[in-house]
Structures are given as C-alpha cells and as structure tokens.
A and B are shown apart, each in its own frame.
Chain A
Amino acid sequence: MIVEVKGVGKTYDNGVEALRDVNLAFPQGQLTTLLGPSGCGKTTLLKIIAGLIPRNGGEVLVKGKPVEGPGPERAFVFQDFALLPWASVLRNVAFGLELRGTPRPEREEVARKYIAEVGLKGFEHRYPAQLSGGMRQRVGLARALTVDADIILMDEPFSSVDEQTRRKFQEDLLDLLRHHQKTVIFVTHSIEEAAYLSDQIALLSPRPGRVSKIVRPNVDHSRSPDEIRRDRGYLDTVDEIWGMLRQYV
C-alpha cells in the first residue's frame, strides 16, 4: 500500500463537514478512482492526500510517512489545468523542475520528452490560450509526469474536455500510466470513466463524505478500448455502481 488514509475527517471553516472518518488504502502501481455525486468531498479528499489543504483528524501515510504538505513523490493534475498563461508549453511542462532548481537545459530536455509522450510534439512554443481544452490537459499531465513522482493525483482531469477528446485521452492515459507504472488516484463523477479506467473504485457517500463501498471492476485492461467498452465485466460494473449511487441522487 503506497498511500493509506486513516480516519481522516474535514470540516470547513463555514461549518460544512466534508469528510468523516475516511479509511482507504491505495495499492502501488494501480489506478484508484474516488467516485461519488457532487459535494461528496472527493476533491477535498484528493487535496488532503496532496497536502494542499489541512485535515481535521486522522492521518495520511505516503510510503509509510505521514503527510504534512505537498511532496516530490506526489504530482497533481488540476481540473482547470492550472497552466501559467504567460508561459509556453515547454516552460509550463518544465515548471515543476524549475521550482526545484533543475538547470534549464536539463529540465527542458526532460520536458520535451514528456511533451512528445502526451502527443504534443511541435507545440512546445505555443501558449495555453492557443491550445484546445484537451491539449491543455495533456500539458497538465506532461507537467505531472516530468517531476517523476510515483503518485499522480488527478482531479476530474477530463471534465472540461469534450467527449470525443475525452475517449482518446482516456485511452492514451491508460497506456502512459501502465508504461510508467504510476500509482494514480483519480477523482471523477463519471461512472463509465471510473469503470473503464480503474483497478479499484472507492464509492463515496455525500455530506459528510465516507467510503460506502469499494468496487474492483472485473475488466481486463490489456484488451483494446473498444472490446472493453463492450465487455460484460465492464457493463456489469457500471450497473453495479449505478445501483449503489442512485440512492444518493
């Protein structure tokens, strides 16, 4: 277990209790989805694991060490991309290394490699405003890969991306992550997305958010994307999750 969440709670200053006694373990090299209706605190939980917001109780262990803030073994991919609008794709992707003080030629070399891997070769000197939503999120993904973190935290990365782009992106994402053996924690509200991508799905109940069930989809990820989408295991998982979530909506 590379990440462990034990008894974590979170109450915001305005009195809203977002999470209560959340217990969850994330196996190394697997993709775990936090799935639930809006307002169930899934993004809050992700940001607590990232060390971006403080928790009120319990503890988060990453590789056995308690989390007290952001760390180099975790990289975040943001829902709204969070790209520097004044910086080129190259500088944005290299930004994590820039903050660490890696010399420019070195960090740009690494950045170029990942820009090519996410399929943006030739766009190194474009600015975020010149890219489509899907391309911008590829920049966000490349930036997270560039810092060579073992754990990638993704906060609804495809929610601002149009449907066609999303499918292609999901397929590319699976390939990339499998290739790099990353542990991924992925927040989404899309059941199909969760069932298609995940090794493990944690279903959260709303207000206050708690883990109501853990589902391990019976999906063979080595098969082609189109086969998966017609696969019995995949379709059953989608039905099973919907059966559990419908009580909350």
Chain B
Amino acid sequence: MRTLLSLVVWFVLWEIAGQLKLSTIVPPFSAVIEAAIEIAPTEKFAKAAIITLRSFGLGMLLALVVGIPLGIVMARVKGIGRLLGMWVNIFVSAPISALVPILMAVIGIGETTVVVTVFLFAVFVITLDTQVGITHADRSLVEMARSFGAHRHQLYTKVLLLSALPEILAGVRLGAIRGVKGVVIGQLLVAIIGVGELFEVYSNNFLMEEFWALVTIVFLFAFAISEAIAYLERRVEYYAASR
C-alpha cells in the first residue's frame, strides 16, 4: 500500500514536470503510458520481449544450475571453498559490464553473448549466498540427522538445503535483479537484438515517449520478478526467524 502511494506521488510529480515542458527528454507520464499501450501490442515489441525473456531465462537457469551446486561444494569442501572463495568475492563486486565487449569478441555478437552476460551478472551472488547458507546451516541438525542414520543424499535433501533455503532464496532474488541488469546491458552493448535494439532505435530517433515507456516496462518486469521471489522468501521466513 505504501509502495503504491509512493509510486503515485512520483508519477504525479513526473506528470507535472512533463506538462511544464522543462525538458524535451522528459515527456509527461500520461504520454509515456499512452506510448506503452501503443507499443505493447506491436509485433516488434513482442519479438524483442521474447528474445529478451529467453536470454534472461536461459542465463538465470544456467546461473542457478551452476551457482547453487558450486556454493554447496564450496561450503562443504574446505579446500575448494578456499580456492574459489576469493574469486567469487572479487567477481561479485566486479563491474561485469566491462567484460561484455570481451565476450562479444570471443563469443560473437548475438544472443549467446547476452545469455552469458546474464549468467555472469547473476551467478556469483547466488554462489556466495548458497555458500553462506550451507556453512551456517545448523550443525546440531546435521548431527541429529547423522545420529538417526541419514545417508549422504538425505543429509543434503532433507536437512542442509532446507536449512539454507532462506539464504539461497535471498541469493536468487539478488541474482535475478542483477540478471535483469545483465540482459539490458548485454543487449544495449550488442545493440542489435531484443529490448536493447528498441532502446537504440528510440533514443537515436528521439522517441522519448516510447523510450520512457520501455524503461517503465523493464522496471516493472524487474520489480515483479523481485517481488515474486520476495514472496517466496516471506513464506519460508517463519522458520528462518526461529533458527
């Protein structure tokens, strides 16, 4: 409710600023909405959206499939944790965008580069949070499971993963937010596909209503993803709080 109110206030300010014609790059909010309604059903937008979602989805999937197991191994095997810990920590704070031109040179200018960009943006924070979650998993729960004869795989599926779930979900949420950044930055730099192409077209032709409409849509998408994962997090919170 408070979020909604805050949004309304800002949209009203935006509308006023736009109507006052302070700057040509700030059209009124109502015009942006109109543009959004106009471009959303077009084939061009649908194509861009599909490519973008596909790159995002694939990159995130890779990040989950690699990031979570890597985090688990780093937490459970001390040697590997020490070996890779420093690198993961460097990459989690490194400006990955700087690597995209290199990726373009190596992989080529296309969707694959964008997928890899999403992956690189998302994977490290997922790995790091999973590692923290598993490392801090309740040791007496592990001992308990062992004392009742748990096999190795039972220890992971029935105790460790569930115990680390709050941290893993937090990592996935942060990873997804970074992934949205990754897909947009990747496409902007590659500049010939998806939403990135549309951004190029709109800004080069000074179509500010359309440009802001696209920005708003991307923002809403990122917000929706983050909220969806946050909802999952809240559902596991009751036990995270009681650990």
Q: How many whole Å from B138's CB to the nearest CB in chain A?
A: 8
Question: Interface stretch among A1-9, A70-78, A214-222?
Answer: A70-78
Q: Using a Cβ–Cβ cut-off of 8 Å, how many residues does chain B contribute to the interface with A?
A: 23
> Which of B150, B236, B241, B242 contacts A99, CB < 8 Å?
B150
The answer to whether A84 and B140 touch across the interface, beta carbons within 8 angstroms, is no
Q: How many whole Å from A103's CB to the nearest CB in chain B?
A: 16
The answer to whether B148 and A96 touch across the interface, beta carbons within 8 angstroms, is yes
Count A-B pairs with CB separation below 8 Å.
Answer: 59
**A84 and B141 contact, Cβ closer than 8 Å, known pairs A75-B148, A100-B149, A127-B238:** yes
Interface string of B159-184 (1 = CB under 8 A from A): 10010010000000000000000000
**A99 and B140 contact, Cβ closer than 8 Å, known pairs A127-B238, A127-B239:** no
Q: How many whole Å from A60's CB to the nearest CB in chain B?
A: 15
The answer to whether B239 and A78 touch across the interface, beta carbons within 8 angstroms, is no
Question: B residues within 8 A CB of A100?
Answer: 149
Question: B residues within 8 A CB of A51?
Answer: 147
> Which of B138, B147, B242 contacts A129, CB < 8 Å?
B242
Bound CA–CA A72/B150 (angstroms): 11
The answer to whether A147 and B146 touch across the interface, beta carbons within 8 angstroms, is no
The answer to whether A95 and B148 touch across the interface, beta carbons within 8 angstroms, is yes
User: In this assembly, does B96 line the interface, its C-beta being within 8 Å of a C-beta of chain A?
Assistant: no
The answer to whether B144 and A86 touch across the interface, beta carbons within 8 angstroms, is no
Bound CA–CA A76/B145 (angstroms): 10
Q: How many whole Å from A106's CB to the nearest CB in chain B?
A: 16
Question: A residues within 8 A CB of B147?
Answer: 50-52, 70, 74-76
Q: How many whole Å from A151's CB to the nearest CB in chain B?
A: 12
User: In this assembly, does B158 line the interface, its C-beta being within 8 Å of a C-beta of chain A?
Assistant: yes
The answer to whether A72 and B149 touch across the interface, beta carbons within 8 angstroms, is yes
Interface string of A215-240 (1 = CB under 8 A from B): 00000000000000000000000000
The answer to whether B149 and A86 touch across the interface, beta carbons within 8 angstroms, is no
Q: How many whole Å from A208's CB to the nearest CB in chain B?
A: 23
User: In this assembly, does B243 line the interface, its C-beta being within 8 Å of a C-beta of chain A?
Assistant: yes
Q: How many whole Å from B234's CB to the nearest CB in chain A?
A: 14
The answer to whether A76 and B144 touch across the interface, beta carbons within 8 angstroms, is yes
**A86 and B162 contact, Cβ closer than 8 Å, known pairs A52-B143, A78-B140, A80-B140:** yes
Bound CA–CA A127/B238 (angstroms): 10
User: In this assembly, does B154 line the interface, its C-beta being within 8 Å of a C-beta of chain A?
Assistant: yes
Question: A residues within 8 A CB of B143?
Answer: 52, 78, 82
Bound CA–CA A143/B148 (angstroms): 10
User: In this assembly, does A128 line the interface, its C-beta being within 8 Å of a C-beta of chain B?
Assistant: yes
Question: B residues within 8 A CB of A27?
Answer: none
User: In this assembly, does A119 line the interface, its C-beta being within 8 Å of a C-beta of chain B?
Assistant: no
Question: A residues within 8 A CB of B140?
Answer: 78, 80, 82
User: In this assembly, does A85 line the interface, its C-beta being within 8 Å of a C-beta of chain B?
Assistant: yes
The answer to whether A85 and B144 touch across the interface, beta carbons within 8 angstroms, is no
Interface string of A61-75 (1 = CB under 8 A from B): 000000000111011
Q: How many whole Å from A131's CB to the nearest CB in chain B?
A: 10
Bound CA–CA A52/B144 (angstroms): 9
The answer to whether A70 and B241 touch across the interface, beta carbons within 8 angstroms, is no
Bound CA–CA A185/B187 (angstroms): 66
The answer to whether A70 and B149 touch across the interface, beta carbons within 8 angstroms, is yes
The answer to whether A78 and B144 touch across the interface, beta carbons within 8 angstroms, is yes
Bound CA–CA A96/B150 (angstroms): 8
Question: A residues within 8 A CB of B151?
Answer: 99
Could you list 18 further interchain pairs (A-B, Cβ under 8 angstroms) beyond the known A95-B148, A99-B158? Answer: A70-B148, A72-B149, A75-B148, A76-B148, A82-B138, A82-B141, A85-B239, A85-B242, A95-B145, A96-B148, A99-B149, A99-B154, A100-B149, A127-B238, A127-B239, A128-B242, A129-B239, A129-B242
